[in-house]
Structure 1
């Protein structure tokens, strides 16, 4: 892929991160950038062939390596992870009486994703349900926010 196209793709991703981040209350360090910071912080690479890479390293060891050619897929990964981290912080600060921490976290994450793109919230919920084996745990997964009126 010509350097001009790679630069255009990177600018598109930077603009979408900058536009969508504040809508979910996310900015700065909570969103992935384009430079490896180590410490398991995800970052984005636009490869020479146009492949988009969502990577993270911890002490020099690769701990995350997702690849796509679809910028929207990469944005989903970025906001899935950023909202999970932010929802965890929020859930610790706003515990709900009688509700397990993870349920509060999931509810908040779904709400944040739904505010960006309802399809992302549905996808995240579906992925979460698919990852759980115990029916008791699956029952804990909260419903999605209602669609806007």
Structure 2
């Protein structure tokens, strides 16, 4: 190729595999490099170093995030994969007196913190910014202690 696309693709594939293994994430939750339907994310490498995380459903593009930064694309991919994994975990590990979504968020923060502590903090901020009411925001758990201290 000569434009670095193959090197970036290899780097992303290796990092996704490494991070998924380190966090105990099922590799099936990670985006691949081939277009998929059904709302599943996939990575597309464009010209000029453009990196896209896309999802299509019923043949229509329903999500597209674009960057030139491989680390940013890794964050997006692992944020989404950790959310799916945390949801599965929370369904199997109900915490007495705790709402399902709180258990999910707590688990997602822990997974992201294990990968990149800054990612957990970023995800928590994004989540807080997306919630519609102060009551919802009050449910967002703190970050793992090693990050919060």
Aligning the two structures, in what range does the TM-score lie when normalised by the shorter sequence? over 0.9
What is the aligned length? 148
In structure 2, the residue matched to 1:26 is 25
- Normalised to the residue count of structure 2, the TM-score between the two structures is 0.95
Regions of 4+ moved over 2 Å: none
Which deviates the most, 20-29 or 78-87?
A: 20-29
Shift of 1:45: 0.8
Distance 1:27 1:88 in 2: 13
Distance 2:127 2:56 in 1: 24
Distance 1:76 1:91 in 2: 21
Shift of 1:4: 4.5
The 5 A counterparts of 1:99-138 are 99-138=98-137
The answer for unaligned runs of 5 or more in structure 2 is: none
The 5 A counterparts of 1:12-23 are 12-23=11-22
Superimposed CA distance per residue, residues 90-112 of structure 1 (whole angstroms, 9 cap, x where no aligned partner): 00000001100000000000000
The secondary structure found in structure 2 opposite 1:147 is: helix
The 5 A counterparts of 1:1-149 are 3-147=2-146
What is the Cα-based RMSD across aligned positions, in Å?
Answer: 1.4
The answer for unaligned runs of 5 or more in structure 1 is: none
